[in-house]
Amino acid sequence: REKNIRNRQKLEGQLTENKLVKTELDLLEEGATVYKLIGPVLFKQDLTEAKQNVEKRIDYIIAEINRLEQTIADAGTKQENQKQTVMRLQNAVTQRFRTK
């Protein structure tokens, strides 16, 4: 569960970063020169293509955050169910020892 929470926090950071990039790209005028860093090399990229790529990344990150939130919620429910099962078993054992 903690791993999922850490992953969610990482994705939140990536989402914030990508939203900032989108904001910056939206400020550019049509036809502005945009470069994409791939490894150690900067490649020229079309502004429209850059905007689409960032938007797709944002959509993907949001979907991953939603998936992780569901996983975290499911883990919490499972943990609560197991906790209740353990409590019932403890109560049953306690009752048995009291009656003897």
- Distance, in Å, from the CA atom of 18 to the CA atom of 65, rounded to the nearest integer, reads 14
Q: What percent of the chain has pLDDT over 70?
A: 99
Query: In CATH, what number is assigned to the domain containing residue 13?
Result: 1.10.287.370
Domain count, the chain: 1
Question: Which one has a higher pLDDT value, 58 or 5?
Answer: 58
Q: Give 98's pLDDT tier (boundaries 50, 70, 90).
A: confident
Tens-digit pLDDT profile for residues 13-29: 999 999 999 999 999 99
- Distance, in Å, from the CA atom of 87 to the CA atom of 90, rounded to the nearest integer, reads 5
Tens-digit pLDDT profile for residues 47-59: 999 999 999 999 9
Q: What is the residue range of 52's domain?
A: 2-99
